[in-house]
Amino acid sequence: MQKLDSILGTLLFGLIAFIGIGSTWFFGAWEVWWFWPFVSCIFLSTVCYGIRLMLSAFLGTRRLNLSTLVYGIALAWCPFLVYALIRAIQADVPMDAERSFLLHLTPFLLGLIVATGIPETRHRTLIVLIMVNLGLLGLYGIANHLIAGNAKVLWVPGFPQYQEGYHRATGSYFCPDHFSGLMELALAMAMALLLVRSSTRVQRMLAIGLAGIALCGIVFSRSRGGGIVAGIVVTTALVLCTMSWPRKSRWLVRGIGLAALSVAISAFVLFGGHYVKRFKEYPWTTLEHSDRFQMSSAALRAWKTAPWIGVGPGMHSSLWPHFAPSADGDRVTGRWPTFPNNHYHSFEAHDDWAQFLEEYGLIGMGLFLLAIGTALAGLFRRWRRWAFVQATNPDCIQSTAWILPGMLLAALAMAIHSLGDFNLQIPGTTWLMGILAGLAVATARLTPPFRQRKPNGSIEKESAP
């Protein structure tokens, strides 16, 4: 049984690495012919994980990375997943509803498997593979942009409309904004590795390289949301990650970082070229004329018809013709809507939060925020512990603690960018987020007790810096 358990652990590692790396290269697994093979691998991983759990009756649970945080997160996610399953069964579009439900279930399964099912000795290897893969994805996107003009996405012809006027990098995804979303994850992890106190000089050099690649990818994608998110991620990282430094050093690092960021933003505004032009040409003062605003507005109009339970998973695209026209039209008086929106079809709302509210309602949104909030709050508390330890103990050598603030920054990036796009509906991105979350939860299990010793020898609880 011990040998079988070891084989299953190795198989789990291979499957998770294949999913986390392969899905981002195969166009984010967006199309069904890529989506289902990777989902099948996730289900196979779940079967292997289930067998490992059953072997616990004979081999014990110590070989599994179980912790109170894992139990808390799992319990917080279960109500939402049960609710999402019920709503998916009730939906009138079975295939779209099934995909919507799987986009919530599969990242949770990946996170659970990574956090508790993969041997601890392989966590660091998985982290290295993911970081190297993010760097390679960025390098490919940059090279494809500069050398081939994004004419193709890997071996498939790209969409020419993204190259009209602004010449935007697409990377291994078809949409430049989704490529930017992937690079935002790379930037978040790189900033965490760069700024935490326990990182070595070599790690910092590698982090600078990955951050440079990620920023170049975002700039070449010409994504307005990506540029805004990059600034927010860097600013937040200067506050969050420097908690692990002594007080004087912490403020010095923050001051230098904010000064460098100010210089970079000024240089961008002055010499940003087409990227700055694209920012200026957006109808910031007349947002109601933009297609993204209209799509989000239509999603909210649909939500108002079923505010508590929503219109059903996957229903946005099907209901678009009904709710697309703005609400100021009047059939009785013959008044035409100001925005008929009948010259295009919205398959996604380009606002993950508005579409989520539309399809799952207030109940679903509340349960989802509870699940996400429980996970992020648990990771933040444990990062505060590690930050205190690193700030007071220069000999601290826990080299994977940086993934805790890295995951928090990645979640922040996706939450903000998803206000203007649908990055969280790209399977490869959500699966990568699930794997990173699992690694962060597994690392959080190793956090030390949050205590310090008084001068008289007694122990007291200490707050984070």
pLDDT tens figures, 390-439: 877 766 656 688 999 999 999 999 999 999 899 999 999 999 999 999 99
pLDDT tens-place string over residues 251-279:
888 999 899 989 988 888 887 777 888 88
Cα angle vertex 157, ends 155, 160, to 5°? 150
Q: Band the pLDDT of 452: cuts 50, 70, 90.
A: very low
The CB density around residue 365, as the number of other CB atoms within 10 Å, is: 18
Q: Which tokens go with 202? A: 């070599």
- pLDDT, residue 333, reads 78
- pLDDT, residue 465, reads 36
- How much is the mean pLDDT over the chain? 88
Residue 196 DSSP label:
S
182/187 Cα distance (integer angstroms): 9
Q: What is the DSSP string of 11-39?
A: HHHHHHHHHHHHHHHTGGG-SHHHHHHHH
**Largest Cα span, the chain:** 84
Report the pLDDT averaged over residues 71-76: 93
- pLDDT, residue 462, reads 41
Examine the pLDDT at 459 and tell me if it is beyond 70.
no
Examine the pLDDT at 4 and tell me if it is beyond 90.
no
177/170 Cα distance (integer angstroms): 8
- pLDDT, residue 449, reads 55
First to last CA, the chain: 47
- pLDDT, residue 461, reads 45
Q: Which of 33, 47, 182, 183 is nearest to 109 (CA)?
A: 47
Is the Cα dihedral 147, 418, 378, 104 positive or negative? negative
Q: Which tokens go with 200? A: 């070595």
- pLDDT, residue 396, reads 62
Q: Band the pLDDT of 86: cuts 50, 70, 90.
A: very high
Of residues 330 and 315, more confidently modeled? 315
Residue 432 DSSP label:
H
User: pTM of the prediction?
Assistant: 0.92
- pLDDT, residue 111, reads 95
Contact status, residue 447 vs residue 396, Cβ threshold 8 Å: no
Q: Band the pLDDT of 117: cuts 50, 70, 90.
A: confident
Of residues 74 and 400, more confidently modeled? 74
Q: Which of 39, 28, 98 is nearest to 427 (CA)?
A: 28
Q: Band the pLDDT of 281: cuts 50, 70, 90.
A: confident
Lowest mean pLDDT among 42-56, 121-135, 410-424, 446-460: 446-460
Rounded-to-10 torsion of CA 247, 440, 205, 266 = -70
- pLDDT, residue 457, reads 42
pLDDT tens-place string over residues 181-213:
999 999 999 999 999 988 889 999 999 999 999
Contact status, residue 83 vs residue 308, Cβ threshold 8 Å: no
171/169 Cα distance (integer angstroms): 6
Residue whose pair of structure tokens reads 């392969």 in the numeric block: 22
- pLDDT, residue 353, reads 95
- pLDDT, residue 241, reads 92
Rounded-to-10 torsion of CA 266, 269, 275, 279 = 120
pLDDT tens-place string over residues 20-35:
999 999 999 999 999 9
In 3-state terms, what secondary structure has residue 361? helix
Report the pLDDT averaged over residues 338-343: 85
CA distances from 327 to 210, 377, 444 (A): 47, 39, 49
Contact status, residue 233 vs residue 184, Cβ threshold 8 Å: yes
Read off the amino acid at residue 171: G
Residue 153 DSSP label:
E
Q: Which of 441, 420, 17, 436 is nearest to 181 (CA)?
A: 420
Contact status, residue 116 vs residue 68, Cβ threshold 8 Å: no
Examine the pLDDT at 56 and tell me if it is beyond 90.
no
- pLDDT, residue 207, reads 95
- pLDDT, residue 165, reads 77
- pLDDT, residue 47, reads 94
Residue 449 DSSP label:
P
User: Residue 206: CB partners within 8 Å, gap ≥ 6?
Assistant: 131, 193
211/379 Cα distance (integer angstroms): 23
| Percentage, residues of the chain above pLDDT 90 | 59
The CB density around residue 103, as the number of other CB atoms within 10 Å, is: 20
Examine the pLDDT at 460 and tell me if it is beyond 50.
no
- pLDDT, residue 166, reads 80
H/E element holding 459? strand 459-461
